[in-house]
Chain A
Amino acid sequence: GAGVSQSPSNKVTEKGKDVELRCDPISGHTALYWYRQSLGQGLEFLIYFQGNSAPDKSGLPSDRFSAERTGGSVSTLTIQRTQQEDSAVYLCASSLAGASYNEQFFGPGTRLTVL
């Protein structure tokens, strides 16, 4: 079956613009995670969804970052008023359910460049 897909694969934007990043999880996976991979900070957790709810948003770096999930499936990560420090690869992962022992399957990521 299909894995986790993300779009776009690359996004170049100008400072101050808003961007939307999309994640399509594996069908049937109720848990969805967003991570950010940057040169300086490595891989960092951003937000966790169980179904359409986000019980853990603790990793979102500022209020410019938001995310939603609809239909228990597709998720969108939105960054408003982008800054150069937002440049990173944004990775999405899904798992059968939100539990420590469930394997997370990762998408290929969206590389965001803010000029």
Chain B
Amino acid sequence: AQSVTQPDIHITVSEGASLELRCNYSYGATPYLFWYVQSPGQGLQLLLKYFSGDTLVQGIKGFEAEFKRSQSSFNLRKPSVHWSDAAEYFCAVVDGGSQGNLIFGKGTKLSVKP
């Protein structure tokens, strides 16, 4: 069965520091991958997505992610974190054979120190 693993439950970084959130997936074919962000009391907002082609994808708010098939990873990065980036981040993969149903990781909560 497909799955998504986010190994880090909680990460704290200093404002201005770089960020990398890890995501590993389990899927036989080429996956459709997403990163979503959820601020407190808010719904999920799409940061970026990967379907095919260039393995480095750019998203909103200065985020990027790199698809590495050999490592089954899709890590999210940002060169310089802002205090407003504090939120929970979810990696997701489309359930193969479905009409877009998403399988989510457990999420990584990001705290930003001033």
Interface residues of A (CB under 8 A from B): 4, 31, 33, 35, 42-45, 48, 50, 55-56, 59, 91, 93, 95, 98-109
| Cα distance A33–B51 in the bound complex, in angstroms | 20
CB <8 Å contact, A104 and B99: no
Please report the number of residue pairs spanning A and B whose Cβ atoms sit closer than 8 angstroms: 64
CB <8 Å contact, B43 and A43: no
Q: Which of B45-62 contact A (CB under 8 A)?
A: 45-46, 49, 51
State the majority secondary structure of interface residues on A: strand
State the majority secondary structure of interface residues on B: loop
Measured CB to CB, the closest approach of chain A to B54, in angstroms, equals: 16
Known: A42-B104, A42-B105, A101-B32. A106 touches B43 (CB 8 A): yes
List, in ascending order, chain A residues with CB within 8 A of B106's CB. 42
| Cα distance A21–B42 in the bound complex, in angstroms | 17
| Cα distance A99–B95 in the bound complex, in angstroms | 11
CB <8 Å contact, A45 and B101: yes
Measured CB to CB, the closest approach of chain A to B112, in angstroms, equals: 23
